[in-house]
Amino acid sequence: MAGHGPLRTVDERTGRAVAHSAIPPGLAEFFADLGNTAVALPVLLVVAGWAGWAARRGRRRVAEGGGPVRWWLPPVAAASALAAVPALVVPLKLWFARPGPPGMGGGAQDGFFPSGHAATAAVAYGVAALLLIRARVPGRARRRAACAVAAGGVLVNVGVGIGLVRRGYHWPLDVLGSWCLAGVLLVAWWAVCERWARAGAPLTPPPPASPPPHAAPAPGRTGR
């Protein structure tokens, strides 16, 4: 991307092919709009609020010697991850200064790599999916729900990426770069939640030791 190499040429050729494909423009616009902060942020806030409420309701007990479980940590970390998107995307856009597709003015405007819409969608819907996966659902139902949520999050983000390219808002590598950036933020979010959740989990007191077996009294001496 920075060196204007052959990969960039292939990327722009692919982008033009997708922009002139048979994908319905209305459907592409719908998915592209899912990357707007006005759409992604409320979805994340609703899921984060539910996850925090469910965690607080299920973990109110405080064990002896331990602190309360940090039920608030995943929702707060989720909001922080989404807030980090513009803080990272904007400097990268200014640094790479990549011109946009022809529909966006061609070389008249710079700053299209990485895509802010794709990064917003990937982080918002990705964290929302991970929050739902972390929810306490027992046994086989939990595994099925986790697979369904993960697949839904992937499909939504693929739709957002294709919609952005189809509508001529971004090149394909703009979207792929945002997915790489979002992947780092999602891994960091998961690591923070796992580490701090374990550190704040209440300590389970050890089971009481079984009393030692009583020795039979020694028989007293006779003939005294």
CA distance 51 to 38: 21
pLDDT of residue 64: 37
pLDDT tens, residue by residue, 31-56: 999 999 999 999 999 999 888 887 77
Portion of the chain with pLDDT greater than 70, in percent: 77
pLDDT in tens, 54-104: 777 765 443 334 445 577 888 899 999 999 999 999 999 999 988 889 877
CA atoms within 13 A on the CB side of 93: 21
pLDDT of residue 92: 94
Tens-place pLDDT, residues 196-208: 765 545 444 445 5
Evaluate whether 127 touches 189 at the Cβ level (below 8 Å). yes
Q: How many CB atoms lie within 10 A of CB 3?
A: 7
pLDDT attached to residue 149: 86
Confidence of residue 13 (pLDDT cuts 50, 70, 90): very high
Which is higher by pLDDT, 138 or 185? Answer: 185
Rounded Cα distance between 13 and 111, Å, is 19
